[in-house]
Chain A
Amino acid sequence: MKLKPSFIAYDTQDQSMLVPTGSAGFAGLVQGNRTLGAILSLLKTETTEAEVVAAMCARFDAPQAQIAQDVGRVLDALRGIGALDE
């Protein structure tokens, strides 16, 4: 899976955002913390949910089950707005 090119991931000083472009078919804005930014960054290239969880576990000091749950929630939300190519 991968982020669709019709969505642009962008980081400000204190938050991460996912902005749809005209062809995205979604009018809104996804805002989150650096964890969202890290997930979006991984989704810029083809990857799997397991790879995202593994990368997040290596980066953040938290139980793997918790990270897997959080990653799953973010990916579901991204699927919900049609931001993922799968």
Chain B
Amino acid sequence: MNKQLPLEDYLRENGTLTYSNVGVSMLPLLRQGRDLLTLQAKTQARCAIGDVVLFRRASGQLVLHRIVAVRAQDYVLRGDNCTGDEPGVTDTQILGVMTGYVRGGRTRSVTDPAYRFYTRMILRTAKLRIPIRKALRRLKRRLRKQ
């Protein structure tokens, strides 16, 4: 019960890890304090658009976001609840790929039709959703100043 392993080593040793997320960037998919996610250790294979991956930023911070673009040398990532893209994430920074999540005690796979539909909607509505959210944020800021 007291074996201590850094996350990278745990994933490498066990192949998978089920854990909780911190923050709101992956809402509405993952709710902090309520849902769990299962990661599979990253393999040599490249990731695909729509994959949710855990990666380590240069600062050392661990982040769970979705791949929104695959480029020759890197990936562009964005949280489902975020408006900004994060380019320049390389394969070596990615520790694991989400293969499922636990919501309300029920395990769901990323191959479930409902999840795949959700992913398609998140990706396809981004061009509409993100400008609207940014505009609403600007409006809120203006209203607060008045």
Interface residues of chain A, those whose CB is within 8 Å of chain B, are 5-6, 8, 10, 12, 17, 19-23, 28-32, 77
- Which segment, of B18-26, B45-53, B80-88, B127-135, faces chain A? B18-26
Is there an interface contact between B19 and A6, defined as CB atoms closer than 8 Å? Answer: no
CB distance from A9 to the nearest CB of B (A): 9
Q: Please, how many angstroms separate the alpha-carbon atoms of A20 and B18 in the complex?
A: 11
| Residues in B whose Cβ lies below 8 Å from that of A21 | 20, 22, 32-34
Question: Which residues of chain B from 1 to 33 have a CB within 8 Å of any chain A CB?
Answer: 1, 4, 10, 17-23, 32-33
Contact among A8, A20, A30 with B1 in the assembled complex (CB-CB below 8 Å): A30
A-B contact list, 15 entries, CB within 8 Å: A8-B20, A8-B102, A10-B102, A19-B18, A19-B19, A19-B36, A20-B20, A21-B20, A21-B22, A21-B33, A22-B22, A22-B23, A22-B32, A23-B33, A29-B17
